[in-house]
Every structure is written in structure tokens, then in C-alpha cells.
Amino acid sequence: MKRKRYLVLILFVAVTGSAVGQSESVDREVIHKIKQEGLKNSQVMETAFYLTDVNGPRLSGSTGLKKAYAWTRKQLEGWGLSNAAIEPWGDFGRGWETQKCYVAMTAPYYQTLIATPKAWTPGTNGLIKGKPVFIKINSEGDFDQYKGKLKGKIVVTALNTPLKTTFEADAKRHQEEDLEKLAKYPDGSDNSGWTPERIAEYRTRAALRTKLSEFLLAEGVVAILGSRGGAHGTMFTSNGAAYDPQAKPALPELEMAAEHCARLVRLLEANIDAEVEMDVQNSFLVEDLRGYNVVAEITGTDKTLKSELVMLGGHLDSWHAATGATDNAAGCAVMMEAVRILKAIGAQPKRTIRIALWGSEEQGLFGSRNYVKNHFGDPETMALRPDHKKLAGYFNLDNGTGKIRGVYLQENDAVYPIFEQWLAPFHDLGAKTLTNRNTGGTDHLSFDAVGLPGFQFIQDGIDYNTRTHHTNMDTYDRLQKEDLMQASVIVASFVYHTAMRNEKLPRKPLPKAKGSTPSLGR
């Protein structure tokens, strides 16, 4: 019995690192400087302003994203970072942007409609007018009833979900019981929500949408109006056609505010004449089909360790209906602020710290995946590059504007005692939770896929999932200044301490080669 307890104690010490001599180095003096600079002299909101209001929407391949590449590179260089560059990662495809979007109902009365074109769809080639037709396509068997009846029509498609009044607040923070529950999942549960059932449902819907688009094009429809939901004028948007330069032709297609779409549907179902007019001007950008990331460094000072890397990043691209504030100018602004803080306090990291602002995350983590493939290794074959041995760790931020509450460990048990001690100085700022769970959907996965220690921070959700994520309301106004300041100092501290450790962060066993697998993206 005593022997069993002794073995359990040894195992506990090995996992938690709580034995004498296992204590992780925490530089309280540097943390004090980080807090002073990050909480009293913060520039995070100014950075966010330029990323959003000044540079505008940052859809992959668009003028706005190219402006953001140039601005962030120049800003990082101006703060004193070295090797600032706009680095190509490979081919992406066509850029796209919209110059004009006017949609209105003109009968039975006039009302401007809240709508935005789906990305990579064409414009209307001038003003078009007509009586819209409402169609319901929920299965393969629904197509036949519309054959030969839609030529020259503006089509309105049904809402995915009925509108409901909610009596819960849009914005929420993690409560203590939420964080306790999160911390009690040591089984590697995936927190992304992508269950096998949900993946199968997603693919079924995607296949039906593809067939619907092809059917409407073949039938001679002139434009499509629809809605994927939302409330109070908030609408979700994505792409309605492919960015491949050789993509098949597509129709002009617009996302509408759910309330405006629902009104049209009710009128049409009641056989009341309604008319719509629209003028949409979109353009495709084909001069440069490559994708890019922005990188810059704080060069390491240790003769032996400066060739090793600590990385931090977030994705710079966004959707186009707003200015991509919470997704993900917030994460980029925090990461930029973290390296600004370290330069401002005169930090002298042993390892080189490299910030990366990723392109084309929204289409499938393309920027980070190709960066990892180009620099560290290929997850499909697990053929590793020499620099794979040099990465100490990667930290990511991409879950909105909310403050950091802890870290997802991605089943990397060995980092628990390290991060536990690194979080301790920030308990007063609300960050103390560690969970072994995985979380998905963003760029840390690119590093994890080749066995590198990559981590996403736990954040308060605020109104990310109800109001801002991929919507027309994802604007600067939704950013929480104090939360972004808090996140900046925590990231700066984690990055600094990773750069100062004698050893790189512990790694999980190398994963098996994946082969070529499709991505759901975000």
C-alpha cells in the first residue's frame, strides 16, 4: 500500500512539476515592467484603429489586405524589430472586392435592404429590377418543381433558421463555474464543436448549396438573395464562389439581414407583389495570385540560443462585410503590442522572438499551414526541415476581443506546470485556467500538426459568437480596450519567458503523417 502511494506521488510530481527543484523561473522584475508599459502606455487600440478603420476589410487577395501587409511591416520595423518582411507562402488565387452595393425593395413600398455581396461573386452589370421569386430547396427532390420557371428572375432563398427573440445577453464573460468545468476536461476533448456529426451535416449542406448554385445558373437566374441568420441587422457572410482563377462562372449573390429577408419571404408567400432593384459592382484582382504573411523579429542575444525561435501570431485577413475587428484585428493588435512592449522595456531575450501575421486563415489556415510547411515540416508526409528542432513554442490569439483567462494545452501535459507558474502573476487580471483540451479552428493547429508546441489562449467570448464573428458588425466599436491591454501583457510575458528558458517547451510525440485531408477552415 505504501509502495503504491509512493509511485502515485512520483507520478504526480512528474506531471505537475511541484517537486523541489522543479520550479519554473519567473522574472517578476520583467513582469512588472511589462505590466507598467502595457497597462499605462498601451498602443493596442491605436494599432487596432489602423488595422480596421484605416486599412478596411482585409479579404484574402484584396487591396485592403495588401495595405495591411504594408502598414504592419512598416509599424513593426518602426518599433525596432528586425527582418520585417512581407513573405510569400505560395499561390492563393484571385483577389476580390466590392465597389458598390445597392439593394432595395421598391414595392409594395420603398425600403433599402441591408445586404452585402458574397465574396468572389460577380456584380450585376448595372441596375437590375424585377419581381423576386421565393424558392425552398431543402433536399435533392425539391429541384424539379422549379425547372424552367426561373429564367431572368431574382431568387430569394429561405432562411436557414427561423427568427427568434432571445432573452439572453449577446455578450458574456466566462464565469468561474465555466472555467472550472473547462479545466476538468483532461481527456483531450475538442473544444471547437466540430463533432463527426456536425462535420457530416456541414458537408451535406455544402454539397446541396453547390448543387443549388449550379442549378440556378443553368436556369438563367440573374441574382440570388438569401440569409444565413443573425439578428437585429447582423448578418453572417462568407464566399459564394471560388477564388481559383479557373473557377466556374457564378451568379451575383448577396447575404441579407435576416429581418429583411424574412419580410420578403412573407410577402411572396402571401402572393403580394413585391419588387426589388439592385446595383452591385464587384471586381476580381488577378495581378498577383500569391498569398503572404508578415514577419518580424526581436533578435536573440544568447550566442547558443539565438538561432532558436519563439513565435507568436494571429491572422491578418478578414471577411469583407465589416472591418474584421474581433476576427482578427484584435489578435494581431495584441501580438503587435506584445512585441512593442518587449522592445519598449529593453528586453534582451536569449532566443529570437518572431511575430507572424498570417494571410488567408479564413480560407483554411493557408498562411500558417504553408509557413509551417515551408519552414518546419509537412504534416502530410511528416518530412521535417532542420528548423523544426529550433522552435521553442508558438502562441496564437484568435477568439475575439475578450481578455485572456488561460491556455488550451492541446493535450501537452508536460507544459502544465510551466504555464501554471507563468500564469500566477496574472491571477489578479483574471487569467488562471489551464485545460488539457484541444481547441480548433485557428493557426496554432498548423504547428500542432507537425508536433510543434502551439497554443491558443482561452478568452472571454464577449459577443464573438452572437454578434461579430464573420458579420457586418465586426467593427472597431466592438473591441474592449481593457481586455486587449490585459491580453497584451500576458502574451508578452509568456513569449519572453519562453525565450529565456534553458530548454525549449516540452513537445508531444510526433504525429503520424496525415496524408492529404480537406480543411473546413473557419
* Rounded Cα gap, residues 329 and 316, in angstroms: 6
d(CA 438, CA 447): 13
Q: Do 320 and 237 form a contact (C-beta atoms < 8 A)?
A: yes
One domain, residues 280 and 295:
no
Q: What per-residue confidence (pLDDT) applies to 22? A: 60
Sheet holding 253-256, edge to edge: 115-117, 253-256, 223-226, 154-157, 133-135
In a domain, 17, yes or no: no
Helix/strand/coil for 313: strand
Do residues 97 and 225 lie in contact, with contact meaning Cβ atoms separated by under 8 Å? no
> What is the predicted pLDDT for the residue at 519?
47
Contact 154, 443 (CB under 8 A): no
The phi, psi pair for 107, rounded to 5°, reads -155, 140
- Residue 4 in domain: no
The Cα 137–Cα 155 span in angstroms is 12
* Same structural domain, 263 and 296: no
71 inside domain:
yes
One domain for residues 105 and 237: yes
Residue 210 lies in domain:
96-170+205-285
Average pLDDT over residues 119-129: 98
- Determine the pLDDT at residue 21: 39
Residue 232 has pLDDT above 60, yes or no: yes
Return the closest-CA partner of residue 358 out of 321, 311, 404, 309: 311
pLDDT at 320 over 50: yes
Higher pLDDT pick, 231 / 195: 231
pLDDT in tens, 346-370: 999 999 999 999 999 999 999 999 9
Rounded Cα–Cα distance for residues 410 and 437 (Å): 6
Segment 8-12 shows an average pLDDT of 38
Query: Which one of 240, 269, 285 terminates a domain?
Result: 285
Cβ contacts of 373 within 8 Å, gap of 6 or more: 379
Same domain, 152 and 244: yes
Q: Answer whether residue 268 is part of any domain.
A: yes
- Residue 275: which CATH number? 3.50.30.30
**Does the bond joining 160 to the residue before it have cis omega, within 30 degrees of 0?**
no
Number of domains in the chain: 2
pLDDT of residue 23: 82
| 360 assigned to some structural domain | yes
Residues 38 and 144 in one domain: no
The verdict on residue 383 lying in a domain is: yes
Q: Mean pLDDT over residues 242-255, rounded?
A: 96
CATH number at residue 324: 3.40.630.10
Q: 515 lies in a domain? A: no
Q: Please say which residue of 228, 254, 285 terminates a domain.
A: 285
Compute CA distances 362 → 51, 335, 368, 420, 427, whole Å: 17, 18, 11, 32, 33
**pLDDT tens figures, 11-42:** 433 444 433 336 899 999 999 999 999 999 99
- Residue 195's pLDDT band, with cuts at 50, 70 and 90, is confident
Residue 4 pLDDT grade (very low, low, confident, very high; cuts 50, 70, 90): very low
**Residue 205 pLDDT > 90, yes or no?**
no
Do the Cβ atoms of 387 and 447 come closer than 8 Å?
no
Does 452 fall in a domain? yes
Residue after which a domain boundary falls, among 235, 261, 285: 285
Average pLDDT, the chain: 92
**Any bridge partners for residue 454, and if so which?**
394
For residue 514, how many other CB atoms are within 10 A of its CB? 13
- pLDDT the model gives residue 498: 98
- Note the pLDDT of residue 433: 98
User: CA–CA separation, 295 vs 89, rounded Å?
Assistant: 12
